[in-house]
């Protein structure tokens, strides 16, 4: 029996651990060819082993930092050369930064968080829109956060990066209304990830949903029959 993403090319960032890894495994189980990008080669190799062991299509692994923007352009060109299209883009990779008052944010950390969480997604849109247009049903999913509401003291760097991401993706979604692309944002909510543990070190991780639980919310937004567009979808609603 074919999976719901059978033979679709799905590009996932931050795929070596946490939510990104769980999404990659789920999509592979649904028949997708996963193209996994992360900074950690070892984590990608573990993902490869797990997908193959489960009988999935061997993934394509790309070890790269999202802030190497020239590389994003090169990857887009290389994927077009090899596959001619991308069916699903999952922009999941991101960093937290320090939780600190706005006046205490270090410029270097500000630049790093904005580059990783916001500018990288702009570069992905720029590089991958032509690939998504070649699909019969291109789908783009960007991971956001409840911190995007700007109402959380000490979360400025991360919250601003996600708030701006939401504006950008919603704007882009209106620009591609006449295409076959559907673009949405997904807020995972409280999830048992290393980033969550860093932000809330005293929290009992056993009380939180796992990345595998959250990954299920990505699937409907990746399917060809998805009709949602320009929305913020909350995984835990």
Active-site residue numbers?
158
Distance separating alpha carbons of residues 215 and 56, to the nearest angstrom: 17
CB 120 within 8 Å of CB 93 = yes
Cβ partners under 8 Å of residue 120, min gap 6? 13, 66, 67, 69, 72, 91, 93
**3-state SS track over 9-21:** EEEEECCCCHHHH
Cβ partners under 8 Å of residue 129, min gap 6? 176, 181
């Amino acid at each position: 029996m074919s999976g719901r993403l059978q033979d679709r090319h799905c590009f996932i960032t931050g795929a070596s651990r946490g939510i990104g890894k769980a999404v990659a495994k789920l999509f592979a189980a649904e028949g997708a060819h996963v193209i996994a990008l992360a900074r950690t080669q070892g984590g990608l190799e573990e993902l490869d082993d797990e997908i193959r062991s489960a009988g999935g299509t061997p993934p394509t692994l790309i070890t790269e930092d999202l802030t190497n923007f020239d590389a994003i352009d090169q990857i887009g060109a290389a994927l077009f050369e090899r596959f001619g299209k991308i069916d699903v883009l999952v922009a999941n990779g991101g960093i937290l930064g320090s939780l600190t008052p706005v006046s205490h944010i270090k410029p270097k950390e500000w630049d790093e968080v904005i580059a990783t969480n916001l500018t990288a997604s702009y570069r992905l849109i720029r590089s991958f829109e032509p690939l998504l247009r070649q699909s019969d049903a291109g789908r783009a999913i960007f991971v956001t956060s409840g911190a995007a509401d700007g109402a959380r003291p000490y979360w400025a760097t991360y919250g601003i990066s996600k708030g701006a991401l939401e504006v950008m993706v919603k704007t882009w979604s209106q620009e591609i209304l006449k295409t076959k692309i559907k673009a949405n944002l997904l807020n995972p909510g409280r999830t048992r990830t290393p980033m969550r543990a860093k932000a809330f070190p005293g929290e009992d991780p056993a009380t939180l949903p796992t990345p595998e639980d959250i990954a299920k919310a990505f699937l409907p937004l990746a399917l060809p029959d998805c009709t949602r567009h320009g929305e913020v979808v909350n995984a835990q609603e």
